[in-house]
Amino acid sequence: MKDGVVQIGLIGHGTVGGGVVKLFQKNLPLLESKAGTKMRLAWVSSLERGTIPVIGGTRPAYTANWRQVVEDPSVDIVIELIGGLEPARTIILSALRAGKQVATANKAALSKHWMEIFTEAQHRRGLVYFEAAVGGGIPVIQGLNEGLAANRIQRIRGVVNGTTNYILTRMTEENMSFANALKAAQVAGFAEANPSFDIEGVDAAQKLAVLSSLSTTGWVRVSDVHREGLSGIDLWDLDFAKKRLGLTAKFVAMLDVVGDRFLARVHPTLIPETHPFANVRHEYNAIIIQGDFVKDVMFYGKGAGALPTASAVVSDVVYLARQVAGGIAGRMPYVTFDRSRRMRSLSWRDHSTRHYLRFNTADKPGVLASITKVLSRHGISIASVHQEDGPVAELDVVRRSVPVIIVTHEASEGAVDDARSAIRRLPGLSRRAVHLRVDSLR
Amino acid sequence: MKDGVVQIGLIGHGTVGGGVVKLFQKNLPLLESKAGTKMRLAWVSSLERGTIPVIGGTRPAYTANWRQVVEDPSVDIVIELIGGLEPARTIILSALRAGKQVATANKAALSKHWMEIFTEAQHRRGLVYFEAAVGGGIPVIQGLNEGLAANRIQRIRGVVNGTTNYILTRMTEENMSFANALKAAQVAGFAEANPSFDIEGVDAAQKLAVLSSLSTTGWVRVSDVHREGLSGIDLWDLDFAKKRLGLTAKFVAMLDVVGDRFLARVHPTLIPETHPFANVRHEYNAIIIQGDFVKDVMFYGKGAGALPTASAVVSDVVYLARQVAGGIAGRMPYVTFDRSRRMRSLSWRDHSTRHYLRFNTADKPGVLASITKVLSRHGISIASVHQEDGPVAELDVVRRSVPVIIVTHEASEGAVDDARSAIRRLPGLSRRAVHLRVDSLR
């Protein structure tokens, strides 16, 4: 504090950082009335200077060196928005060590260094708020951490990655190919030049790890999240699933908790068109949290974009400022983290779900019989078989091949994996097969 | 506190109170780990004793006299669940005066005594938490108050009353009459023996007043909420709206804020079948909050029932206990309430929306012409006119009358009200007309 004013340092002045500056500029009196204290954005730190406006009569100081912000003794709250692992981790830890409070949107650093960061926070009696790390502007972290605090969290289902959802929406609604939809996402500003983090599900896995750690009061690592990306997705299957099965593809993050065991996974999933997630379009996110007393609660809103994400960051800052002004910051922890709680992942191979399998067969009698025989030998029960007339032009490797689609009843991942290996060795089949999960999400 | 244990007194042991006891019984170790302190449900107060189980090794003391709870110096947190205005108001105020923190589900007392309760809370540096007052188990109060704190709240749309939503769902989906659907709601336990509070929209208006006061940091009174009940609703219109207009009836609470002016209203509303609210069924609630930075955020879940509501109450208690244990309860306020902020209601008559009007006419040529002439004279532009073939059997007062349905473009409430008065004086019309609002909720 300086002259009774809570001092805030912003590190990272990119898209979201720009939104934060804009929010301070527009709503400062409102923020101060909510926080019950005067506030000042004292610093903006980034590699490039950019334009920094006057806010509430003064212009924030600029520095290219984030250490100046963390080392300024008058700074109370550090906003970390540079993303990635380093120097973000060092910024968060240094700020805590310097007795400051932290607001961050950084799911990568949080999920990777959960134990280190929240141990340091406990040790230093500091606070790390991170509403913007999951779901953009949607207050799902507050909701889960505080509003549902009385519940044992049993499961989570979420559409939490804007890029993959944008791509799937364009593919499904406009019959766009994956490549074109990805390009459109980049043009719309939802996908990075190197989109692999989103497409391969890393971003969603990090967010799920954050939600899972918060839900279990333990630490669920990103490496504990079973992850399958979107890059194998074909328009042909989305179209078939919609027209013939009444299903829509969504990139879904899922957590199931049973005692100290959990299963966390992100992968493309075929869900009923009647499920609320089917209407979660473009950059929107939705998260359903099931607690033992509250049952299902859904949060929905913009999961990306400068202004919604800034809303989450600055709402955190308001609550931190309240505590700083009351002289009580760090007198109660924000996150319940139990170092001694060992969360163990359930076996992926043992997990059962319904499966959508597409094989590309040479149109010979007998191939379908061989496939179903293999499935049966692995104890996989078939719900429906569809043999389509024409070849799948755009993706066939084996010419003149014909797609065979099999939807199974519940079967374990292990059994399906083994069966697919066996089927791959059958004659008359293209090597490339498509495997999606089918889930009612109920 | 007693022996380092946070002491909790529960006043009111009805449906929700029973859920709270059950939650403490089932999840006490979890609650304690989240709160970072031992907790004890020390008292249960209600007029009838009921069954009080052993929780964490001890059985809460019972008293018929709530004053014993409020006057016990070791009690830190009082849970008020008796509902209604008195003695609930006195319990909340007495608890604050005795230096205790309060969790309540009481939208009636909060909305009526907002200024008194939060002035007292400021004065005594006490906290009143009330997650359960709106939306049952949905953490919408936390979300609005904290997670969206950085935003200027521009509008709210909510399905917040379980009884009316249950009735409308059964009517719409099962072609049930209003009377039968009401009976079904009572059998299912969602409607009171005297359901007029719900049916007339008082409950929804109280909830909207709470959300509105929180949104504006001022005080929006229940008497400022324009309120129309559900009792005039006819199955005929729901059926017609669905089949001919693609619209579904929902009982919607709405707030619009422009600076220090607002419009708050609850009434049955015809909304597009494609709007997310159309799938909010039975006792579920949904609330969409629009902030200037976050845009629309939706919260969805069970808005009624013992266990979901107990989830909200006890989540509040966990957060109060955290602050009590940290010795910081009341060192920062929960609700931002600005006594000096004068919120003024916009004129209801000036408010514009689309209207659904049904008149029952003697089937004479010329009646339709007279109606449309009156509407035109009042500057009301017609979007569509429907004259149905047969009479509306179940509700006709004038025999052999024929329904004429008119859907207008946007027109002010005042103009429509005046036009209806004039139309009422036309010959050949049944006195009874139906008037619903049509809103895309976009």
CA–CA separation, A261 and A138 (whole Å): 28
The stretch B143-150 carries a mean pLDDT of 96
Contact call for B311 and A322, based on CB within 8 A: no
Q: Read off the pLDDT of residues A234-277 as tens digits, 9 standing for 90 and up.
A: 999 999 999 999 999 999 999 999 999 999 999 999 999 999 99
Each domain of chain B, given as residue ranges in start order, spans 5-136+306-325, 140-303, 352-438
Name A256's Cβ contacts closer than 8 Å, sequence gap at least 6. A154, A155, A262, A263, A264, A346
Element (H, E) at B356: strand B352-362
Q: Residue A191's pLDDT is what?
A: 79
Q: Per residue in A166-199, pLDDT tens?
A: 999 999 999 999 999 999 999 988 877 789 999 9
Residues B207-263: tens digit of each pLDDT: 999 999 999 999 999 999 999 999 889 999 999 999 999 999 999 999 999 999 999
Choose among B23, B146, B301: nearest Cβ to A319.
B146
- From chain B, pick out residues whose CB is under 8 angstroms from the CB of A317: 150
Per-residue pLDDT band for B398 (boundaries 50, 70, 90) equals very low
DSSP state letter for B163: H
The average pLDDT across A217-245 equals 95
State chain A's maximal CA–CA distance in angstroms: 85
Task: For domain B140-303, give its CATH number from 3.30.1360.30, 3.90.1720.10, 3.30.360.10, 3.10.129.10.
Answer: 3.30.360.10
Please report, rounded to a whole number, the percentage of residues in chain A having pLDDT higher than 70.
97
**What's the pLDDT score for residue A398?**
45
Q: Considering chain A, what is the average pLDDT of its residues?
A: 94
Q: Which of B26, B150, B326 sits opposite A314 (nearest CB)?
A: B150
Distance CA A170, CA A262 (A): 33
pLDDT bracket for residue A432 (50, 70, 90): confident
Instruction: Pick the more confident residue, A333 or A356.
Output: A356
ipTM higher than threshold 0.85: yes
CATH code assigned to A5-135+306-325: 3.40.50.720
Q: A354 — alpha (psi -120 to 50), left (phi > 0) or beta? A: beta
The CATH class that applies to domain A352-438 reads: alpha beta
Residues of A in contact with B151 (CB under 8 A): 27, 311, 315
Query: pLDDT tens-digit profile of A277-294?
Result: 999 999 999 999 999 999
Kindly tell me if the per-residue pLDDT of B366 is higher than 90. Answer: no
Return the structure tokens found at B264: 């708050």
Can you say how many angstroms the Cα of residue B84 is from the centroid of all Cα atoms in its chain? 15
Q: Report residue B2 as tokens.
A: 């007693």
Alpha carbons B202 and B227: distance in angstroms, whole number: 8
Class of the domain covering B5-136+306-325: alpha beta
Contacts of A8 in chain B (CB under 8 A): none
Q: What is the pLDDT of residue B391?
A: 56
Sheet containing B101-104, strands listed edge to edge, beginning at the edge strand earlier in sequence: B61-63, B38-45, B5-11, B77-80, B101-104, B128-129
Q: Is B335 helix (H, G, I), strand (E, B) or coil?
A: coil
Mean pLDDT in residue range A73-96: 97
Candidates B142, B214, B332, partner chain A, best to mutate (most A CBs within 10 A): B332
> What was the pLDDT predicted at B396?
47
pLDDT greater than 80 at residue B48: yes
Average pLDDT of the residues in B94-116: 98
Stretch B349-366: mean pLDDT: 90
**pLDDT number for residue B400:** 64
DSSP state of B58: B
Give the Cα separation of B398 and B405 in Å (integer): 16
- Residue B27 and residue A152: Cβ atoms within 8 Å? yes
Q: What is the pLDDT of residue B393?
A: 53
User: What's the distance, Cα to Cα, between the start and end of chain A in Å?
Assistant: 49
| pLDDT digit string, tens, across residues A13-31 | 999 999 999 999 999 999 9
C-alpha atoms less than 13 angstroms from C-alpha of B148 in its C-beta half-sphere? 33
Question: Is the CB of B142 less than 8 angstroms away from the CB of A138?
Answer: no
B2 is catalytic: no
Residue B125 has pLDDT above 70, yes or no: yes
- Residue B378 pLDDT level (bands cut at 50, 70, 90): very high
- In chain B, residues with a C-beta closer than 8 Å to the C-beta of A297 are 137-139, 299-302
Q: What is the residue-wise DSSP string for A39-70?
A: EEEEEEE-SS------BTTBPPEEES-HHHHH
Other Cβ atoms less than 10 A from the Cβ of A347: the count is 12
- Closest C-alpha to A302, from A162, A113, A119: A162
Query: Is residue A337 pLDDT above 80, yes or no?
Result: yes
Distance of residue B99 Cα from the nearest chain A Cα, in angstroms: 18
Identify the top-confidence range among A128-132, A359-363, B330-334: A128-132
Report pLDDT for A393: 53
Cβ separation A294–B314 shorter than 8 A: no
* A401 pLDDT more than 90: no
pTM, to two decimals: 0.95
Q: Using CA atoms, how far apart are residues B36 and A167, in angstroms rounded to an integer?
A: 43
CB B124 within 8 A of CB B100: no
Q: CA–CA separation, A164 vs A177, rounded Å?
A: 13
How many other C-beta atoms lie within 10 A of the C-beta of residue B286? 26
**Pairing mode, if any, of strands A382-387 and A401-408?**
antiparallel
Q: Is B143 within 8 Å of A146 when comparing Cβ atoms?
A: no
